[in-house]
Amino acid sequence: MTGVVPHEDAGWSVYEGGDWHDNKDYGYSTGIIRTKLGLVGVYRQWDLERPLTMMEIVYGGRTYRRRWDVCYSKRYCVTLAKRFIREHAQ
């Protein structure tokens, strides 16, 4: 995947399923996101079937999910999560 599609076109959806995915057998990266404006969120990315991955972002009391066709580095996951949070800031 080249570039990042704006979130409204990118397939992000609100996840209402309860707890986060927590199967370490799939491998994942996770982190707390703090933007320069003081906004805070959390992300997690894990493997579905390589190279497919799922990413979750928890922000503003909601959990958002999106599937990717590649596995991003932890650094790029942080970039994506910060962008998502900035775009959803009210």
DSSP codes of every residue in the chain: --S---GGGTT-EEE-SSSPP--GGG-EEEEEEE-TT--EEEEEEEESSTT-EEEEEEETTEEEEEEESSPPPHHHHHHHHHHHHHHH--
Show the low-confidence residues of the chain (pLDDT under 70): 1-10, 17-28, 37, 39, 50, 90
What is the pLDDT at residue 1? 37
Domain contains 61: yes
What is the pLDDT at residue 5? 38
Please tell me the pTM assigned to this model.
0.65
Domain contains 48: yes
Domain contains 5: no
Domain hosting 83: range is 25-88
What is the pLDDT at residue 26? 56
Domain contains 2: no
Domain contains 34: yes
Total structural domains within the chain? 1
